[in-house]
């Protein structure tokens, strides 16, 4: 797994988009005290459940792998979360 050039910024973007997506979808309500690692894991599992990203094999799951996968996902999100919600919720 090759680290992305701006992976740290993409992870921050992934958290922001993932939190917005999860809350607008009604699946979760994040608290200010939730750690970044907890948010990333929940966002990852929600996106896998909604079939928006492919799952990492269970034996290979780690914080580093989750961060990398979500950074790649965030790099492809240009239109915000509304198109994702529309696709998942069928609206």
Residue 9 lies in a domain: no
**pLDDT digits 0-9 by tens, 5-46:** 788 888 999 999 999 999 988 888 989 899 999 999 999 999
Which residues form the domain of 26?
18-89
Q: What is the CATH number of the domain that holds 36?
A: 1.20.120
For residue 29, being part of any structural domain is answered with: yes
* Total domains in the fold of the chain: 1
Q: Is residue 8, in this structure, part of any structural domain at all?
A: no
DSSP state of 52: S
pLDDT value, residue 81? 63
Whether 58 is in a domain gets the answer yes
Report the predicted TM-score, pTM, of the whole model to 2 decimal places: 0.85
How many percent of the chain have pLDDT more than 70?
Answer: 82
Q: Is the pLDDT of residue 84 over 70?
A: no
Confidence band for 80, pLDDT divided at 50, 70 and 90: low
pLDDT value for 78: 77
Closest to 15 measured CA to CA, from 32, 45, 37: 37
81 part of a folded domain: yes
- The C-alpha atoms of residue 1 and residue 5 are separated, in whole angstroms, by 13
């Amino acid at each position: 797994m090759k680290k992305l050039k701006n992976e740290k910024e993409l992870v921050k973007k992934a958290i922001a988009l993932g939190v917005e997506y999860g809350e607008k979808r009604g699946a979760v309500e994040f608290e200010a005290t939730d750690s970044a690692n907890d948010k990333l894991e929940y966002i990852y599992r929600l996106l896998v459940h909604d079939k928006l990203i492919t799952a990492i094999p269970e034996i290979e799951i780690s914080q580093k792998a989750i961060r990398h996968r979500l950074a790649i996902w965030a790099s492809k999100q240009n239109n915000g979360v509304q198109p994702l919600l529309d696709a998942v919720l069928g609206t």
